[in-house]
Amino acid sequence: MKILVDADSCPRLAREMVLRAAARLRVKTVFAANRPIPGIDGEFAVMELCPPGEGSADNRIVELAEPGDLVVSRDVPLAGRLVAAGVAVIDDRGRRYSPENIGEMLSLRNFMVGLAENGLGLERAACYGKKELKKFADSLDLVLTELTTAQ
C-alpha cells in the first residue's frame, strides 16, 4: 500500500496530516505536483516533480496508483479515473469518492464548470479550518484502517 497526494491543491494542514499518518504506519507516500511543495520530507515521503502541463501530475498519479492504495485529491475527474481502476480516493475535506457517487460528483462538477464558463459561477468558500481538517482526519484514518486490514 502507498499513499499518493495530488499536492498542487492539497492544503498544508492536510499534507502534514498525511505525512504523520505515513510515518506512523510506515507507508510510502508520494506527493505529485508541477512545482516543488515545501515541507515534504521524512523517511516515507517522496516529492515527485512532474513536467509542466495540464494533467501531468494527474497522469503520474494514475500511473503509480494500484488497488489497495489511497489517493488524496480534490480533482473529481482524476478521482473518477482512479475509482474506475479500483483505487480508494478521498479529498482534503474528507469526502470519499466511490463507484456509487462518482458519476453524480462528475455531473455536479461539470455543471459548475459550465456555469463558471458562462459567467454564472457561484462564490465558493476557500476556508480550510479545524472543521474541514477534522473531517479529513476522520476519513483518512478510516480509509487507512480499511486498507491496512485488507492486506
Mean pLDDT by runs of 10 across the 151 residues of the chain is 95 96 96 94 93 91 97 95 97 94 76 72 73 96 93 70
Does the pTM surpass 0.85? The reply is yes
- Domains of the chain, by residue range, sit at 2-150
Q: How far apart are the C-alpha atoms of 103 and 97, rounded to whole Å?
A: 10
pLDDT at site 104: 77
pLDDT at site 64: 97
Pick one of 3.40.50, 3.30.300, 2.60.40, 2.30.30 as the CATH number of 2-150.
Answer: 3.40.50
Q: How far apart are the C-alpha atoms of 131 and 146, rounded to whole Å?
A: 23
